[in-house]
Amino acid sequence: MSSITPIGIVRTPFKEKFGIPKQPHLANEVQATIEIATAICAPESFEQLEGFNFIWLLGCFHLAESKSTKVRPPKLGGNEKVGVFATRSPFRPNPLSLSLVKLISIHHDEASKKMILTISGIDLVNETPVFDIKPYIPSHDTPWEPVKTGWVEDSSDKTYEVIWSDEAKSKVKELEVTTDQQKMINSILKIDPRPAYHNSHKSYFIVLDQFDIEFTVQNHQVIILNIKNSTR
């Protein structure tokens, strides 16, 4: 049996598990990088990968510790259980993640001796270890009959309008939050990152890049209450 060893790491704005999109394509403005040490994988291993625009990222759910036979998917409101193999839950017998991401660019960083792959559409926490990268090839990766998705209601989830409060707007100037960072925050909050079983009007905190963001949800609007430099 060959052994499995991480070849690199994913750098994402998601510093904590809370807020990571369950539907990566809905937050596809969020960019991330895959960093691979060239001591492990020579730059020529990546030759002609730049001709593909979608790749599979196989990683390790390194923060998932509990291993149950059944899990409570957010899609079912957090109360019903289904078998772990009928889900994409991180809490599974082997902590292998599988993510379809968009490949934006590849370059070799001379200083760090790393291959840097810029990607978007990411659904992984920062510092996720990477095991493998494979190109998306339609003849391998497309079902050849109409798809059935069982308990998953697979319509695209509705998105919310995101409103920045006056307090938050003033902090944007003070903290010099860039336009790209504002877009990224909007794209995460518009898909309502709250756990499905919470539905109150209280405020929530999400850590994105270096910011702690406080928000609440009212009448199908996400309202950003405050934004601060994160201490986490």
Say how far apart CA 72 and CA 89 lie, in whole Å. 9
Q: Using the rule CB under 8 A, which residue among 108, 151, 183, 203 binds its own copies?
A: 151
User: Contacts with its own copies: how many residues (CB under 8 A)?
Assistant: 74
Say how far apart CA 95 and CA 80 lie, in whole Å. 22
> Which of the ranges 59-67, 184-192, 194-202, 217-225 carries the binding residues for its own copies, by CB under 8 A?
59-67
Q: Using the rule CB under 8 A, which residue among 35, 104, 131, 216 binds its own copies?
A: 131
Q: With b meaning 16 or more CB within 10 Å and e meaning fewer, what string describes 61-98?
A: bbeeeeeeeebbbebbeeeeebebeebebbebeebebe
Rule CB under 8 A: say whether 62 interacts with its own copies: yes
Rule CB under 8 A: say whether 156 interacts with its own copies: yes
Asked if 24 and 193 count as a contact pair (C-beta separation under 8 A), the reply is: no
Q: Using the rule CB under 8 A, which residue among 39, 79, 110, 148 binds its own copies?
A: 148
Amino acid at 15: K
Rule CB under 8 A: say whether 79 interacts with its own copies: no
Among the listed residues 222, 188, 34, the one whose alpha carbon sits nearest the alpha carbon of residue 126: 34
> Which of the ranges 79-87, 169-177, 188-196, 224-232 carries the binding residues for its own copies, by CB under 8 A?
79-87
CB of 9 to its own copies, least distance (A): 12
Rule CB under 8 A: say whether 98 interacts with its own copies: yes
For 68, the 3-state DSSP assignment is: coil
**Site residues (CB under 8 A) for its own copies, limited to 4-23:** 4-7, 23
Residue 163: how many CB atoms within 10 A of its CB? 15
Rule CB under 8 A: say whether 31 interacts with its own copies: no
Rule CB under 8 A: say whether 100 interacts with its own copies: yes
Task: Please identify, using beta-carbon distances, which residue of 88 and 228 lies nearer to its own copies.
Answer: 88
Rule CB under 8 A: say whether 147 interacts with its own copies: yes
Q: Which H/E stretch holds residue 205?
A: strand 204-208
